[in-house]
Every structure is written in C-alpha cells, then in structure tokens.
Homo-oligomer: A and B are copies of this chain.
C-alpha cells in the first residue's frame, strides 16, 4: 500500500508576505511562503491551504451573499497569478483543497455569539472530511508559520483532533509534524523548525478523543438544545457521557450494540451548518456553536465505527474491537482474558441466550444487577448482565434486557 503525505499550510494575510530565505534540513531557498520550501523538501501528495474569509478585504469584492459564494471569491483570489497583491498563488494553485474558514477579525468579521469556536470547528470538520476521502495518508505535515493571532493554536489543536479520528477510522498510524519558522527579520535566513513531531497511533488517538469527557463540567456544554443556536435536533448529554465512559473503559459489548447514529447525525449537521449575513461589507457568521460539539462529533464518529448493527456481537469480532480500540494494553488484556475464560466453557453455551452467571454455575438470581467494579474490571463481561449464545458455531454476546442496568453504571 502506498504511503501518502499531506502538507497543510495555515495562512493569515498573504499580501504582507515578503521574499524570505528559508533553511530546512540543510537546504536553503527563497520563497514568500515557508510552506513552499517544505513543499520542495517533503514532496507531498496533497496540499491543503487553510485561509480566512476575512481575506475578502483584500479581494475587494463583497459581491456574495452566502458562505460558499463568498469563499469561492477568496479561493479565486488565492489562486490568482499576481505578484502584486499576494504570493501564495503557486501553493494555492497546486493545492488539492483550499479551506476558507469563518475567521473572526475585529468588528468586521464576527460570530453571532462572540467567541472563536467557529474557526476551530470548521478547521476540524473540513480537514477531517477531506482526509476521510483519502485512504493512504500516513504522514501529515502542518506549517503554522504564517497563521496569525489565534490561528496556530486553534488550528493545530483542531487538526490534531481530526487526525485522531482519521487514524482510528482508517486504522492507521499517522506521523504528525508541526513546523514554525524563526520569526521574520529582514535579510535573515530563517530556519524552518520542527516544533512538534510524533506518531499518532490509535491508542493515543482514543486518548485524545475521550480525555475531554473526563471532566465534571463538560456535561452542561454538550447539550445541543442550549448550545446549538438554531439547531433542529437533540440528543441526551447523558448518552454522550456513557459512550465516552464505555470507550475509555473498553466496554465494547455496549458500544457494539448501542446505535448512536441519531446523535451523530444531529451533531454532524450542527457543526456543518455555517451561514453568513453580509451588510455594509461587514460579515456575521451564524449560527455559533460551542467547541465542545466537535468533541461530541469525534466521539460519536468513533462510537459509530465500533457499532456492529446486530442483536449481539460475535466473540471473535469483539476480540478484534478490543485489539483495535482499547485505550491501553491493560484494557485489551482484560477483554482477552475474559474471552479465553468463556472459550473454556464453550460446551455449556446454548443456542438461546443464557446469562453468563448461570453458565458459570451461579443461580442467576441477581440478573440485571450489575456491580460497577466488576463491569470495569472484566472488560464489560459482568456475569449478572451478560448473555451468551451460539449461532453457526460462533459465540455471541449482548446485554439484552440488562442494557438499561449497564447504562446506569457507565458514569
């Protein structure tokens, strides 16, 4: 399988860029954009340019009324072959994707509700959608040199989260490098520095996705009824917290049978909806939506990938889920241990679902009465809530009528 590379460049105001001598890995070159130097050295398969809607000020054409038309004006401007106005043309024209973000700029480009969340959310969603349309990207290079103000901080964090989802859904390790050149000083040769470089594997990605939910305050922030201005849908914040707990604790029996497609669709629609109002060349983006919705989206996207679309899950498939999605080695080992124990009593598993407690010789009297500690310590295989059965020589597992009881422990 080909291993492909993507180079992402975050830019602010290209009309201010000057010819600059850059140095990278011993080589030197003169460019307007540090990303062009990286382009030469890295030779990426895909170039992604992340600019801002506020470049309409430089386009000097405000003849647009909706987000797409306005962003097309910015895209055309960036691709123009003009050295007078700006100099990102060579990069923009070869870019496979140009993202025009709803960036806030003073009182001229604002959010309907003050904040900078839309920049974060838009970068996350656009980068994720684009990466998911590709299959073989295993190296991502991000140049934040030319980002201004909040762009490098929010852009890097948004892209890290998008890469986390990508690495899980594609089951790929991604080598992630972040660059920033030395600050501009006239006539100086500026080094392009690696400011961060690591391999984002599936475990670290799962950790990135569940960490924001280890937080007592987040439950109030993920409720779309309050948060999504103009949102047309709703999901229970408690459901999201349960899914996060299940993913963090390796309860794949729950995740495999829990259909969260409605919540995913709701949050996906919400963070994808972006409009603008234009009046007197002032732009207001709406609706605003909180940054936490992006964390919900990342979580639901992964949970939906675990979802199995059946009444129960085959033990061998559960083993694969544990191998792929466990937050750490301990959790993977716990689940494999339980599966091995069950295989030893395979002869006692009937074709009709039977409670694990009874299979193991218990009386089954405490059915649907899960002990939280056992639920966590046994990778979800709590004897009093877990049913097993055989079908076509496969062992299946599910919580069936004990699902509500399990959900109450996932907090």
- A-side interface residues toward B, CB under 8 Å? 23, 104-108, 110, 114-116, 120, 144, 148-150, 152-154, 156-157, 178, 180, 182-185, 188-191, 193-196, 198-199, 201, 203-204, 207, 211-212, 214-218, 248-250, 291, 327-331, 333-334, 336-337, 373, 376-377
A130 to B217, CA, bound (A): 27
Chain B residues in 8 Å Cβ range of A201: 214-215
A263 to B253, CA, bound (A): 43
Chain B residues in 8 Å Cβ range of A23: 114
How near does chain B come to A27, taking the closest CB pair, in angstroms?
13
Interface centre among A150, A215, A248 (most CB of B within 10 A): A150
Chain B residues in 8 Å Cβ range of A218: 198
Chain B residues in 8 Å Cβ range of A148: 183
A32 to B144, CA, bound (A): 26
When A193-B114, A329-B249 are in contact, do A199 and B185 touch as well, CB less than 8 Å? no
- Apart from the given pairs A203-B214, A327-B328, A330-B334, 20 other A-B contacts in the complex at a CB distance below 8 Å: A23-B114, A104-B182, A105-B183, A107-B182, A108-B188, A116-B180, A116-B182, A149-B183, A150-B195, A157-B196, A199-B215, A204-B214, A204-B215, A207-B207, A248-B328, A249-B330, A330-B376, A330-B377, A333-B373, A333-B377
Neighbour of A185 across the interface among B106, B152, B191, B249, CB < 8 A: B106
A184 to B104, CA, bound (A): 10
Q: Is the interface of A mostly helix, strand, loop or mixed?
A: mixed
Does B107 contact A188, Cβ atoms closer than 8 Å?
yes
When A373-B336, A376-B333 are in contact, do A198 and B184 touch as well, CB less than 8 Å? no
A110 to B191, CA, bound (A): 10
Chain B residues in 8 Å Cβ range of A216: 199
Q: List 18 A-B contacts (CB under 8 A).
A: A104-B183, A104-B193, A105-B182, A107-B182, A107-B188, A108-B185, A116-B193, A116-B195, A144-B150, A149-B183, A150-B180, A150-B195, A153-B178, A199-B216, A203-B214, A207-B207, A330-B334, A333-B373
A190 to B106, CA, bound (A): 6
Chain B residues in 8 Å Cβ range of A182: 104-107, 110, 116
How near does chain B come to A112, taking the closest CB pair, in angstroms?
13
A193 to B118, CA, bound (A): 12
A373 to B376, CA, bound (A): 17
A341 to B86, CA, bound (A): 71
Interface centre among A194, A198, A291 (most CB of B within 10 A): A198
Does A193 contact B115, Cβ atoms closer than 8 Å?
yes
Neighbour of A198 across the interface among B116, B150, B215, B328, CB < 8 A: B215
Neighbour of A249 across the interface among B105, B116, B180, B328, CB < 8 A: B328
When A203-B214, A211-B204 are in contact, do A337 and B184 touch as well, CB less than 8 Å? no
Interface centre among A108, A148, A328 (most CB of B within 10 A): A328
How near does chain B come to A370, taking the closest CB pair, in angstroms?
13
How near does chain B come to A20, taking the closest CB pair, in angstroms?
10
When A199-B215, A214-B204, A329-B376 are in contact, do A107 and B185 touch as well, CB less than 8 Å? yes
How near does chain B come to A195, taking the closest CB pair, in angstroms?
5
By Cβ-Cβ distance, the 5 closest A-B pairs, closest first, are: A106-B185, A106-B188, A107-B188, A114-B191, A150-B180
When A198-B215, A217-B199 are in contact, do A185 and B105 touch as well, CB less than 8 Å? yes
A198 to B212, CA, bound (A): 8
